[in-house]
Amino acid sequence: MLDQTKLNNFYGNDWKANIHLFKHSGKNWIDQINKLNPSLVIDAGCGENFFKGKIKNLVGYDPVFKQADFNCTHYTAPFKEQCADVIIAGGSVNWGDKDDISFILVKLKSWLKPGGRLFMRGAPGGYDNDAGLDWFVWSAKDIHYFANLLDFELVGDIKIEYNENTPLKTRKMPHRYVWCYGRKNG
């Protein structure tokens, strides 16, 4: 089970936004998502709501940051089933074991319309100063595992982002995975 209090403390006190540093996600998702002409985009764990005003019809939620449209968790967010064309999870699905990840992905998938896209970024470990958070160690194998388990299609390639010469020097692993799941039309 995720320790929401520990997560909130880490993000409220130690974490710093660095979305501008990412080659395959971050700013690069803006054009990709806007080209889909979405009627609703949910930024799941939006942090400081970086994408607000940059991506069409975006609503962000986060349990910590007041810049979010809604202050809530994945489990308490106020969205109806099959309401979104796109969901962004740019680092908010990174904690716990496979069961925890599965529960969160099931929730996110429930909000996607058939044919909708889930843009993901996952870390293969935490930070040196993460106060013992239970990070999920993402791998390409896990990305495929969850696609098969939850009947997602993998849209495009799995990409790897490196940030070795940035404030991410405190990361235990200097890279993150970036991928997109698609909800099948059935």
- Name the nearest CA neighbour of 139 among 122, 127, 126: 122
Question: Which residues have a Cβ under 8 Å from the Cβ of 67 and sit 6 or more positions away?
Answer: 46, 47, 48, 49, 52, 60
- pTM attached to this predicted model: 0.87
Whether 88 contacts 42, CB under 8 Å: yes
Cα-to-chain-centroid distance, residue 60: 11
Sequential pLDDT tens for the chain (186 residues): 566 666 666 665 655 656 666 677 878 899 999 999 999 999 999 988 999 999 999 999 999 889 999 999 999 999 999 999 999 998 889 888 899 999 999 999 999 999 999 999 988 776 555 666 778 889 999 999 999 999 999 999 999 887 655 554 555 555 789 999 999 986
Domains of the chain as residue ranges with CATH:
4-183 (3.40.50.150)
Distance CA 90, CA 25 (A): 8
